[in-house]
Amino acid sequence: MNEGLVSRIQAVIDFYGLTVSAFADKIGVQRSSISHLLSGRNKPSLDFVLKLVQTFPDVNLYWLLKGEGDFPTSNYQIESSEVKQVEPVLDSELPMKNEMPLQAVKNVGDGYNPVKIVIFYPDGTFESFHPKID
């Protein structure tokens, strides 16, 4: 049972596009405890599970614990209140990093639908959205 629960916790982390550290900070637990959970060293406590479902209301408790039900909950949608208006940032205003440029490998027009949209802000924060595609 623990392996399934750990894989569902990892699925939550991936779904929201978080690092393990950011996930730990968001739910208010020590970063090392998440690493120990994901490695199978420790089992999640009731307190941990409650913090997770309180922080991420789209996580169905029954799905998290038993793997039955839906995730995200079937009524998951992007609310317009979640979308923030920001001023555009010029590339010259962003710090330079030694990273390879991203390349588009698939076009939406080629029959591919976006799975995740990530918006990066100048202060280093970001939001990720998962469009509901019928």
pTM (2 decimals)? 0.54
CA distance 102 to 82: 26
What are the boundaries of each domain within the chain?
Answer: 2-66
Domain 2-66 sits in CATH 1.10.260.40: yes
Give yes or no for a cis peptide into 72 (omega within 30° of 0). Answer: yes
Helix (H, G, I), strand (E, B) or coil at 10: helix
Three-class secondary structure of residue 129 per DSSP: strand
Q: Along the 134 residues of the chain, how does pLDDT read in single tens digits?
A: 567 888 899 989 998 899 999 999 999 999 888 889 888 888 888 899 999 999 988 888 888 888 888 777 755 554 544 445 555 555 555 555 555 555 555 555 566 666 677 777 777 777 777 776 65
